[in-house]
Amino acid sequence: MRPPQTTGPVAGGPRGRIAVAAAAALVVLLASVNFLAGLGRPAHPIWDESYYLTAVERYEEHVAQFASHPPLGLALIAAGDALLHPNRALDTRRIGWDKQIAGDRLPRGYSFAGVRLAAGLFAVLGAALFFALMLALTRSPLAALSLSGLYVLENSFIVQFRAAQLDAFQIAFVLAALLCFVVSARRGARSSPGLELLLGVCLGLAVAVKLNAAVLALLGAMLIARRIGLGWRSTPKARLLLTAGRDGALMAGGFGAAIAAVFAIHVAVNPIAPDPASPAGRKDLTFLSGPYAAYLRGARPLSPEVVWDATRDYFRFMGADFAGVPRTDPNGSAPLGWPLHRGAVNYRWDSIGKVTAYVQLAGNPVAWGLGLAGVIATLALLALPPPAGSPMRDRTAQRERRALMIMLALQYLVFMAVHAYLGTQRVMYLYHYFIALLISFALVPLAAAEAAERWPALRAWRPGLLGAMCALLCAGFLFYAPLSFHWDLTHGQCERRNVLQHIVHCQ
């Protein structure tokens, strides 16, 4: 039994397409259940929702504002709430009065289903993109379906993406960027302008949600560097460098255009000046300047200069906010402990008599363990020389796979190094690891294929290993599901969730 192909088309013909479509549909169905069912529960703010609810209200009133993160994620949360509009009968105007609101200050009967809708939908989109990424890496619908459990059965994703928070949007854009990267890398020395442009756009959109995705610009740089290396001896140098410059310009242009479009839309849809009588308005007015302030006063029309000035003011606000973030927090965690799943966060707990319901940011231990194993195995396998004696076709696939392993492993290490530094400047939380976790998941099938080629006996175990992985992922998911979905637990049931490692302080 040969290992799955890592180059060439996925199994072709109608049967192959049907298999891919059926597997993708199953992934989307399971993701829809886990990320969308019962979004309105619990009917209380979860973690940063206390801040984002106020931003949503100001968006709905078209009031200009600044926030701790770029505007795209907040705008998408507001769009989901406007689409569902479950609170149309309530007076919600006071929600946007300050930058934060406690749950007991919300109008009676307030529904969270609207503000959580967009995040849940993007989580489902992320599941489809994750399946596509696994398919691009393995060329096997069955393997891609099995590996998709790393996403759809990941408890920390479920907790974070079911809330009106930003990560579901950023992760969807990051997955789209990783998919573009893998497909483009598989083209070897051949340039793919459309993919380069799309890669830049996806990275720009990810940064327009949260700035830490900027570290993924390394993906584009590595693609260009690899193409230069592959063509250095066979392609005229001038042509090679011109092509590299064009590809870099497309990536940078797509990146910049995406961010510019986000800020232009943000400015255009929020033309009302902040209210100086409100605490939120007074804070925002401190950072208004120049043409943007004049635009909000009605003294000048919308123009590129206004958008540029608004973007600059927004970044000044974020810089001041970053400077004010504390360096420690009881819920914080050290980046060096993230791969070991250190730093579960309790978002809320609600006790009724002898049972307590939790919303706990805790990951699936099987998924996190596989991700860490993927990173370690990749580094170990890359330290060994490539297997010898393979046919030419297999050697081509081998070089392509090892190139992907090198680039993704390097991106993982750079991401962790940057965030280890950031951890010395401000408090960090477990969800800041999500991008690196996705990269570690992408390394799992690559390391498995490399090991199977090096040790042929592993090939016969592949179906059993996939089945065992799925069973263990399901077991890990079910074990922590009560903490993900706010289900009631007795004290004894809660303490059993601390058997593997201490996850939750049981009330």
- Give residue for tokens 């619990």: 42
What integer pLDDT is reported at residue 210 of this predicted model? 97
Report, as an integer, the average pLDDT of 452-459: 85
In the predicted model, what is the mean pLDDT of the chain? 93
Q: Give the C-alpha separation, 173 to 64, whole Å.
A: 25
Q: Give the C-alpha separation, 412 to 222, whole Å.
A: 13
* Global confidence as pTM: 0.94
What integer pLDDT is reported at residue 323 of this predicted model? 87
Cβ partners under 8 Å of residue 460, min gap 6? 1
Q: What is the DSSP annotation of 38-66?
A: TTT-SSS--TTHHHHHHHHHHHHTTB---
Buried b / exposed e over 337-358, threshold 16 CB at 10 Å, is ebbebebbbbbbbeeeeeebbb
What integer pLDDT is reported at residue 352 of this predicted model? 87
- Tokens at 443, concatenated: 């390394």
Continuous H helices in 208-236 = 217-231
345-352 and 355-361 strand pairing: antiparallel
CA dihedral 340, 343, 347, 353 (to 10 degrees): 90
Q: Which residues, in sequence order, are bridge partners of residue 352?
A: 355
More confident residue, 471 or 397: 471
SS3 content of the chain, % helix, strand, coil (to 5): 65, 5, 30
- Tokens at 382, concatenated: 């890359």
pLDDT digits (tens, 9 = 90+) for 408-447: 999 999 999 999 999 999 999 999 999 999 999 999 999 9
DSSP reduced 3-state for 489 = strand
Least confident range from 149-153, 382-386, 453-457: namely 453-457
Report, as an integer, the average pLDDT of 352-372: 95
- Tokens at 185, concatenated: 């890398």
If we measure between CA atoms, which residue out of 176, 177, 182, 181 comes closest to residue 137?
Answer: 182
Burial of 298 (0-12, 13-18, 19+ CB in 10 A): exposed
If we measure between CA atoms, which residue out of 219, 146, 224 comes closest to residue 179?
Answer: 219
Check: CB of residue 7 under 8 Å from CB of residue 396.
yes
Report, as an integer, the average pLDDT of 153-182: 97
Q: Give the C-alpha separation, 141 to 149, whole Å.
A: 13
| In the predicted structure, residue 3 carries a pLDDT above the cut 60 | no
What integer pLDDT is reported at residue 8 of this predicted model? 43
Q: Give the C-alpha separation, 139 to 8, whole Å.
A: 8
CA angle centred on 140, ends 139 and 144, rounded to 5°:
105
What integer pLDDT is reported at residue 454 of this predicted model? 86
Q: Give the C-alpha separation, 295 to 303, whole Å.
A: 9
Q: Give the C-alpha separation, 164 to 154, whole Å.
A: 18
355-361 and 488-490 strand pairing: antiparallel
What integer pLDDT is reported at residue 393 of this predicted model? 58
What integer pLDDT is reported at residue 392 of this predicted model? 53
